């Protein structure tokens, strides 16, 4: 179709039709890239270490934020490379994207971790070792090193253990990185911070298993929801949050200021909201991909707000 102007026939894109379509396509491509390249998860790593510094009363530096952004981007992309069988069933759109750009994402992940390790090494061996925790746990999590005759070939296939490994690795990294970068030793605040992040990451790693229960069962991955069902899984998460949460708040009352306790209380309520929302209030994909994955951004934003109003 063409339009006439001063006796001449002009194509429709002169009137913005093709430009609009191309803009929408480009916008969709950009959104897919941000969503499926782990860019958002990388930002959550930076926000998480900022919240960790706030909880422990440590100054947050650009180096710490950069390390966690690079490490998060790298680990999640490498992990998705090893999860292709499950993603092909559970997340076809993400699988298509990662297969399309698998070489680019793989090399970007390697370069990102190399840069992160380089920054860590500038702060000493302790920071370097902490920076390697996600990589080591990722290898243990994804690489098949058990004998072929065994029922399980990878740690991620062992029920509960994979969630404990993921939660422990991120909790230790986010907590200890600021401690050792500041030449400090871990104390009670560090312990409470580890428990808080462990609780959150444990929840954030189990909720997608509820969503992916059918696909995991088809490929033989025995997650907690596959074994005990959705309702019992949510009851387990609620119990963990209640036990850890009460311990954090009761013990933290003697070691942490009110603003920090406020953040921790809000964070624990946020965790429980994500749990009870599954199958009741919000779409499960929104809960898993936005609320659960983006929790660190919420914690970081609350930390920044408390610091701002406290000036």
Portion of the chain with pLDDT greater than 70, in percent: 79
Predicted pLDDT at 14: 44
Confidence of residue 12 (pLDDT cuts 50, 70, 90): very low
pTM strictly above 0.85 = no
Choose from 25-29, 35-39, 197-201, 291-295 the range with maximum mean pLDDT.
197-201
C-alpha radius of gyration, the chain, whole number: 22
Confidence of residue 2 (pLDDT cuts 50, 70, 90): very low
> What is the tens place of the pLDDT at every residue in 244-257?
999 999 999 988 99
Confidence of residue 264 (pLDDT cuts 50, 70, 90): very high
Predicted pLDDT at 103: 78
> What is the tens place of the pLDDT at every residue in 292-310?
888 999 999 999 999 988 7
pLDDT at residue 88 greater than cutoff 60:
no
The answer to whether residues 116 and 131 touch, using CB atoms and an 8 Å cutoff, is yes
Cα gap 185→69, rounded to integer Å = 24
pLDDT at residue 60 greater than cutoff 70:
yes
pLDDT at residue 84 greater than cutoff 70:
no
> What is the tens place of the pLDDT at every residue in 123-140?
999 999 999 999 888 888
In three state form, how does the secondary structure of the chain look?
Answer: CEEEECCEEEEHHHHCHHHHHHHHHHHHHHHHHHHHCCHHHHHHHHHHHHHHHHHHCCCCCHHHHHHHHHHHHHHHHHHHHHCHHHHHHHCHHHHHHHHHCHHHHHHHHHHHHHHHHHHHHCCCHHHHHHHHHHHHHHHHHHCCCCCCCCCCCCHHHCCCHHHHHHHHHHHHHHHHHHHHHCCCCCCHHHHHHHHHHHHHHHHHHHHHHHHCHHHHHHCCCCCHHHHHCHHHHHHHHHHHHHHHHHHHHHHHCCCCCHHHHHHHHHHHHHHHHHHHHECCCECHHHHHHHHHCCHHHHHHHHHHHHHHHCC
Confidence of residue 284 (pLDDT cuts 50, 70, 90): confident
Site of tokens 């006796």: 7
Predicted pLDDT at 90: 56
pLDDT at residue 1 greater than cutoff 70:
no
Predicted pLDDT at 3: 46
The answer to whether residues 267 and 196 touch, using CB atoms and an 8 Å cutoff, is yes
Mean of pLDDT values over 232-237:
94
The answer to whether residues 176 and 134 touch, using CB atoms and an 8 Å cutoff, is no
pLDDT at residue 86 greater than cutoff 80:
no
Predicted pLDDT at 132: 94
Smallest Cα–Cα separation from 174: which of 287, 308, 71? 71
> What is the tens place of the pLDDT at every residue in 175-221?
999 999 999 999 999 999 999 999 999 999 999 888 888 777 776 77
Cα gap 186→205, rounded to integer Å = 26
Predicted pLDDT at 282: 73
**Hey, what domains does the chain have and what are their CATH numbers?**
40-309 (1.10.600)
Looking at the DSSP bridge assignments, the partners of residue 159 are none
Predicted pLDDT at 280: 77
Predicted pLDDT at 297: 93
């Amino acid at each position: 179709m063409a339009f006439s102007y001063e006796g001449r026939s002009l194509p429709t894109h002169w009137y913005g039709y093709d430009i609009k379509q191309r803009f929408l396509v480009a916008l969709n491509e950009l959104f897919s890239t941000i969503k499926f390249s782990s860019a958002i998860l990388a930002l959550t790593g930076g926000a998480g270490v900022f919240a960790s510094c706030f909880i422990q009363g440590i100054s947050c530096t650009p180096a710490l934020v950069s390390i966690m952004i690079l490490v998060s981007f790298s680990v999640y992309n490498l992990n998705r490379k090893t999860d292709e069988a499950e993603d092909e069933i559970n997340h076809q759109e993400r699988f298509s994207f990662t297969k399309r750009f698998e070489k680019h994402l793989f090399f970007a992940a390697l370069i990102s971790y190399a840069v992160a390790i380089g920054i860590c090494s500038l702060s000493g061996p302790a920071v370097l070792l902490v920076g390697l925790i996600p990589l080591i746990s990722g290898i243990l999590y994804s690489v098949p090193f058990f004998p072929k005759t065994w029922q399980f070939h990878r740690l991620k296939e062992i029920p509960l253990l994979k969630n404990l490994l993921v939660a422990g690795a991120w909790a230790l990294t986010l907590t200890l990185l600021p401690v050792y970068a500041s030449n400090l030793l871990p104390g009670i605040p560090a312990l409470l911070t580890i428990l808080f992040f462990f609780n959150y990451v444990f929840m954030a790693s189990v909720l997608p298993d509820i969503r992916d229960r059918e696909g995991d069962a088809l490929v033989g991955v025995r997650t907690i929801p596959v074994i005990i069902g959705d309702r019992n899984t949510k009851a387990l998460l609620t119990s963990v949050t209640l036990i850890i949460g009460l311990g954090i708040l009761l013990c933290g009352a003697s070691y942490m200021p009110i603003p920090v306790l406020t953040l921790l209380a809000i964070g624990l309520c946020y965790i429980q909201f994500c749990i009870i929302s599954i199958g009741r209030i919000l779409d499960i994909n929104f809960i898993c991909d936005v609320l659960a994955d983006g929790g660190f951004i919420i914690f970081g934003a609350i930390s920044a707000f408390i610091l701002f109003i406290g000036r």
